[in-house]
Structure 1
Amino acid sequence: MANLATGNIPQVILLAIIALSARFSTHAYFGTVDPRARGSEYMRRAAQLLDPSDVSLTGIQVCVLLGACRIVDGDAAGESVYYGMACRMAQLLDLPNRACETRLERETNIRIWHTLVMIDEWSSSGVNIPRQISQPPNDIPLPMEEMAYLSLRQHDAPNPLDTQGPISLLGQMIVLNNIFKQVNQLNVKAAQDQDNTPRIVDVQELTIQLDAWEASLPDYMRDTPSNLAHYAAQGLGRVFAAVYLGIYHYGQLLMYQFLHHDASNNDTTSHFSQRCKTFAEKLCNMVYAALDTPGCDVLYNMVGHILVIASTVQIHTLLFGDNSDEIAAARSRLERNYTILLRLRQLWPSLDFCMMRLKVFHRACIVSMETSFKLDDWMMRFLSEFAKPVNDRNGGDSSWGVGDISITPSSDFDLDSLAILLDTAPNP
């Protein structure tokens, strides 16, 4: 903020920031403009000012911001190009090892590098292309704890005797991102398997990693209401929530292929099915808790994608569950999730695709309940290609019928649409 007050922020960065943030503004200047459209002109001007040959920290930051602008408009290809440029610039600069004059510069470079590695995993899996940073070095320090980073002064000199302090929230995301990468790789292999045999051992090994991560957490980082409130008071509530939205999403992705095995005679696959439901439930509860806690509202567009995946788990319970309490809870979560998705849709154009995907999935369940949750190529696209529409599982174009409504990118979605979704489920 000091740099903003003194005019030291490059105009191109400021324009890109406004392109993303204007949708949240309550200023009268934007009063008559659709929140989803407020950033368009700022994004266009920032893109014009970007010089791809300027291999610099500013260039990296602008590319990341413009990549985010593209994906919220549903332009997965544009996002990938901008993120690809950012990653290439960081590699050319050898960003995490670059000589620095201050501690703040050094730590900022480390944080940006790790952020790019995480972005690369999410973005590349979303368009099904190889990672730009396929083999990141393992010797890059994790980012310092957030409050320590925020307390750094502009001219603090680097200290070669610095040791790694408490792991930061961003550091926890980085650790989990490695698990996410393995989950993606495993699901791709599972979708390609011809014999449809679940890779039980691989899933068990990744489950151990997820559980070990959670067991290693200090008490102040565990998923509790008091910890969420503590981080919210520090201005870090959204970051804390993002850590847990990450692990719960990775967990539901890992176990998703077993979701329809909940009634099987195999104890292992039945256990994985239940774990999938538990991860989805925890994800929903974290979204609710964050939205109910001042300063924690998680209103970024990716929440829409992971909430759609969690909602399909609730649909499974509605269609196949035999416990009235579980069915009632799933119905309640699905109703609240739909309301949240409608709220997010007021901010992010890409939520049109999320809403379409949820309804397409529901249609797939109606057409064939037995194959709807099979982990095949269609399901892989559904789970990972978050910025693109998916075709009807049995073929079709970009318009699908569910009940008595037709769904296209321009369709209106409201609570009546949810009623259609719920009407196919048995009442508890």
Structure 2
Amino acid sequence: MRRPKACAACRARRRKCVVQPGHDRCDYCALHAIDCVHELPRGGWYEKRAILKEQNGSPSKTQGSDSGARSSGADEAIISPSASTSSVDHQSGSPVLLPDMALRLELVDAYFDYVHDQFHSIFHRPTFVEDAAQDLVPESLLFGILAMGARFSTNPALSSIEPRERGRRYFEEAERRLNLRDISLRTVQLSILLGAYATGDGDTEAENLCYSLACRTAQLIGLPHRPAPTALEREIDIRVWWSLCMIDVWSSTAVKLPRLLPPDGDGAPLPMDDLPFLYLPRVDSGNSPSTPGSVFERRSPLIGQMVLLNRILLEVNDFNKRCVAEPPPSAAELETGVQTLVGRMDAWLAALPADVRDTDDNLLWFNSHGLGRIYAAVYLGYYHFGQLLYYQFLHSGGTDSGEVTPAVAEAGSVSLSPAVSPALARVYSDRCKYHSARLCDMIYRAVYTPGSDVRYHMVAHVLVIASTVQIHTLLFSDDENQIAEARGRLEKNFEIILLLRDYWPALDRIMARLRLFHETCQVNMGSSFVLDRWMLQFLVAFGGPMDEKPARPQRELDAFYRLDGII
């Protein structure tokens, strides 16, 4: 059998491992400043042979010892049997390893703090953490959760490993344990975890395969309507189902594939308010005696509001696709489509309980109850969907004069926004800038409020889109106050994006997208904001690579961050 030549990182990414002559690390590992580990794949033929040799009393090498890489105590905290719970998978013969209980619970908490309820809502945190402490959680799910949470750990045992790579071994183990013949909620949850990890890696193919498996399995078991023995289990089913419905909208749009689930969720009820959900008991015995009265004094329908907003996102995405299709809609069709969606967004906002509206007091209240990050995520969705809806009107309505410049008019042949009057286009352009500014401000408030800081990778995607709106202000506004505000937002946005880049490999592509957009602005400012097929991909396909543009001189990264003097 041929001995594998790819390093561990490239093998995990399923990409070619390229080592330049005279270099000791491959291109990928050198770019990301990580160790290039040429260890044997876990569960493979070589590892099985090593296990057999050990069982027969023959000496064998431990994983990674042939390269000498990652031999520190940090790595041992992950893979050493002396520091972990160890068992053997009897089907493959490969070792199954977990970190010690203290580190395990720390990573579980990190997952619930920074991923769960923002990326998806598929568990009940109080009972899950309790089960994890008693070693009752299925190991497949536990490995998937550790894979997502490890990147946020501050534990010294992991300090020598790059944050974005800390969970990869756990991911590989969770992936190995995925059983396609297990048609159950566990398979749905594990597939969602694996899909979320692939999303953070920028692996859109694996992401969609995992999410597709989750959707089909959920349909096979009748997840949204199947009977459940307790209210808690019923609510978990509902939340998992709606998580899939929301994932299905943005994931399928990004890769231009048909959606798998019905837009209305097949008539499933919306998730219950989030605070009462957290206090649901394992068995149906009424409210827990320890439930504080404040839980029921205010409304907290955060996940439910995400579901309602996601329906609007579906319509916005479909509308924008129609706008770049052939033949294009008429001016009347364009205006009707925009007004319909404006009405949907206004109706959502008007129906919000006062307790959930976007105010500093509400953010602080939800933060005090451990829901600050979810509260922020709701409004990141609302403001982002608004900037998606109005974005095309930056092209024809974004100048201070409200007039269509010659450059804009020339580029307008491939955009539909000139089909409406300049005055109306200006109104919509201003709304795009309003949503962009509010989105940025919400992220700043969340990031600088302890306990509300949002770190999931799609924050970077929406910030990149918002940053292009700020660039538009720098390029076309004559108002010095607006220019100063836009410059300040760009500086903060870059700071936050670079922070998130430490956690998520997908942000390398997101940063490349912003660089590509900047270069497009340099080539032709007049057509940079035209809503064509390329721009639509830029707006919605946050994980995959963008089409290459004509070659231009490569600038230093720090010059790019300064936007070559624009900021």
Conservation of the 8 A alpha-carbon contact between 1:363 and 1:402 = no
CA shift, 1:157, in A, is 6.6
The separation in 2 between residues aligned to 1:364 and 1:266, in whole angstroms, is 24
| Alignment counterpart, residue 258 of structure 1, candidates 381, 393, 403 | 393
Q: Is the 8 A contact 2:192 2:214 kept in 1?
A: yes
Offset from partner CA, 1:226-255 (integer Å, 9 cap, x none): 110100011000100000000100000000
Using the alignment, how far apart are the partners of 2:535 and 2:470 within structure 1? 16
Partner of 2:111: none
The letter of the residue matching 1:192 is A
Unmatched segments (≥5 aa) in structure 2: 1-128, 288-297, 404-420
Cα distance in 2 for partners of 1:233, 1:377 equals 43
User: For 1:281-360, what aligned pairs fall within 5 Å after superposition?
Assistant: 281-360=437-516
Separation in 2 of the partners of 1:45 and 1:88?
Answer: 23
TM-score normalised over the length of structure 2: 0.69
Change (3 A) 1:42 1:143: same
Deviation at 1:140, TM superposition (A): 1.4
Task: Give 1:121's aligned residue.
Answer: 249
Instruction: State the number of aligned residues.
Output: 406
Change (3 A) 1:2 1:195: closer
Structure 1 counterpart of 2:319: 186
Distance in 1 between residues matched to 2:327 and 2:554, nearest whole Å? 33
Deviation of the 1:134 alpha carbon: 3.6
Instruction: Determine whether 1:226 maps to 2:361.
Output: yes
**Which of residues 114, 128, 133 is equivalent to 1:5?**
133
Native 8 Å contact 1:61 1:86 kept in 2:
yes
Q: Report matched runs for 1:3-152 at 5 Å.
A: 3-137=131-265, 139-152=267-280
- CA deviations on 1:128-147 (whole Å, 9 max, x unpaired) are 11111144445311111111
Matches within 5 A, 1:210-221: 210-221=345-356
Pairing 1:417–2:560 present = yes
Q: Deviations over 1:361-386 (max 9, x none)?
A: 01111111111111111011101111
Letter paired with 2:560: S
Larger radius of gyration: 2
Q: Distance in 1 between matches of 2:178 and 2:346?
A: 43
Q: Residue 385 of structure 1 aligns to which amino acid in structure 2?
A: A
* Alpha-carbon contact 1:15-1:45 (below 8 Å) kept: yes
Q: Residue in 2 aligned with 1:408?
A: none
Amino acid at match of 1:51: N
Q: Percent identity?
A: 44
Paired position in structure 1 for 2:535: 379
Equivalent residues of 2:274, 2:302 under 8 A apart? yes
Whether contact under 8 Å (1:284, 1:307) holds in the other structure is yes
More off after superposition, 259-268 vs 283-292? 259-268
Q: Residue 14 of structure 2 aligns with which residue?
A: none
- Per-residue deviation at 1:267? 2.0
1:155 to 273, 276, 283: 283
- Report the Cα distance in structure 1 between the residues aligned to 2:555 and 2:132, rounded to whole angstroms: 52
C-alpha distance in 2 between matches for 1:174 and 1:186? 19
Deviates further, 138-147 or 86-95: 138-147
Tell me, what secondary structure is at the counterpart of 1:90?
helix
Q: Distance in 1 between matches of 2:141 and 2:328?
A: 51
Alpha-carbon RMSD across the aligned residues, in angstroms, is 1.8
Structure 1 distance, partners of 2:286, 2:452, is 33
**Deviation at residue 201 of structure 1 after TM alignment:** 1.3
The structural deviation recorded for 1:402 is 6.2
Task: Answer yes or no: is 1:267 the counterpart of 2:423.
Answer: yes
SS at match of 1:29: helix
For residues 189 and 261 of structure 2, the distance between their equivalents in structure 1, rounded to whole angstroms, comes to 17
Distance in 1 (alpha carbons) for counterparts of 2:552 and 2:491 = 20
- In 1, the alpha carbon distance for the partners of 2:564 and 2:554 equals 11
Map residues 234-253 of structure 1 onto 2, 5 A cutoff.
234-253=369-388
In 2: Cα distance, 1:166 partner to 1:97 partner:
25
Higher RCO, Cα 8 Å, sep 6+: 1
CA contact (8 A) 1:317 1:330 kept: yes
CA contact (8 A) 1:143 1:167 kept: no
Cα offset, 1:182, TM superposition = 0.1
Distance 1:87 1:4 in 2: 26
- The 1:416/1:96 distance shift into structure 2, 3 A limit, reads same
Counterpart of 2:306? 173
The answer to whether the Cα contact below 8 Å between 1:144 and 1:166 also exists between their aligned partners in 2 is no
Kept in 1: contact 2:194–2:207 (CA 8 A)? yes
Q: CA deviation at 1:391?
A: 2.4
Residue 26 of structure 1: CA displacement? 0.9
Answer whether contact 1:142 1:167 (CA < 8 A) is retained: no
Q: CA deviation at 1:57?
A: 0.8
Q: Give the match's secondary structure for 2:224.
A: helix
CA distance in 1, matches of 2:237, 2:133: 23
C-alpha distance in structure 1 between counterparts of 2:365 and 2:273, whole Å? 15
CA distance in 2, matches of 1:349, 1:243: 24
